[in-house]
Structure 1
Amino acid sequence: MKLSADLQALSQRLGHRFERPELLVRAVTHSSRSGANRTDNQRLEFLGDRVLGLVMAEALLAEDKTATEGQLAPRFNALVRKETCADVARQIDLGAALKLGRSEMMSGGRRKQALLGDAMEAVIAAVYLDGGFGAAKELVLRLWGDRIGTVKEDARDAKTALQEWAQARGMPPPSYIEVSRDGPDHAPVFVIAVKLEDGQSAEARAGSKRQAEQAAAKSLLSLLEKSGS
């Protein structure tokens, strides 16, 4: 099987020559484009998430030989979360090679954080199945690069940090409410409000619900810090 020009370019950016090119094709195929003769990347995503986790666990242990489990866990979570995978995907322009259905393509799928993060995990699995754990490990360490050495214990996502803040004070988890949605279908803008049981709240705007929720949580955390709560 011969790769298309865009996938050949992606293979070069990955630094891996596929002996089984069909694995890369599957890794970049979203469920909106799958069919009888084309398998989507969901199973590869499942595997890639586990491969990434093992590589990161090993890397963090090697990076800091004195860190406790309590210090390592949040660093690990920060490195393997979907937002980080999506950032790495953007770094290699993975979105340009995604195989999407028309509706997903028209709604800006190549830029969606969830799709990019899932595809990045699927690509890791494709390299793992094609070249073994060593090849996948080399890929991950190279693409994640300095992130591994600079990640901090407090590098949790804002929603997790806000939930932990609430739980530590005996409150239920924060609630997130979609205030509005504007713009065309291919470029929506969401306004999300986050509210704590005691009435403290904040709002944020972003191009996806997930991003808006994170931004709202970050905003509320900042307000809580300033108020000394």
Structure 2
Amino acid sequence: MYVHIFTSSTTTLPLTTMQTVLHTADSRGHANHGWLNSHHTFSFAGYSNPERMHFGVLRVLNDDTVAGGKGFGAHPHDNMEIISIPLSGTLEHRDNAGNHGIIGSSDVQVMSAGTGIAHSEKNHSSSEPVKFLQIWVFPNKRNVPPRYDQQTFQAADRHNQFQQVLSPNPDDAGVWIHQDAWFHLADFDAGFTADYQVKKPGNGVYVFVLEGEVAVAGQSLKQRDGLGVWETGSFSVQASANARLLLMEVPMSL
């Protein structure tokens, strides 16, 4: 569903049009394999929807729960930027380049598949489930050397502010990927309002509500709803209840 929001203009400035697309939580694809319970914002595996293929270069947004002691066996990828963000529990990574890492709810993990890499992701706990976001972004460079990274972030640094956790610059805050993309986490108190400023002209932002309720550019969103916003330089985010958000700014052209 596309919603056009027209903003006011003066005689010296052209009319600008903000565009949005809403994906409610209950409209996502769903697959429950017992050991894996997954909700797909965009087409993935057995969920195929021609109207939900991607948002710009954001190709996959999976909301996964993996049972204790279970996980994804070794499998290959190439030419994709893969980001994992645990929401609760711990996730263990291994790959054929010798990388091994364990991440929890304070961490963000990134893997540039590049020329090709095989990896496994499993629940590090034998008993407690792990809940995490699996995100794929198309890269702006193909056939790069594969790489792996993970970083830990302080929750206090996202209280009523946007905490940058990913960018295109290795020298900037957060992990980095081969794409002009910026990810931010935010924990907003009820009633708090902030404006998000788009980092690169022409980019869009996909806002995913992890917890609580917010209004983004005037659109009300609840837990696990997503809203894509583009053709604007900024937009407002207002928490109508305590809320946790993930904002993914990405180029809109593949």
TM over 0.5: no
TM-score normalised by L of structure 1: 0.21
Q: Indicate the structure with greater helix content.
A: 1
TM-score (norm 2): 0.19
The structure that is strand-richer by fraction is 2
Q: Kindly name which structure, 1 or 2, has the bigger radius of gyration based on alpha carbons.
A: 1
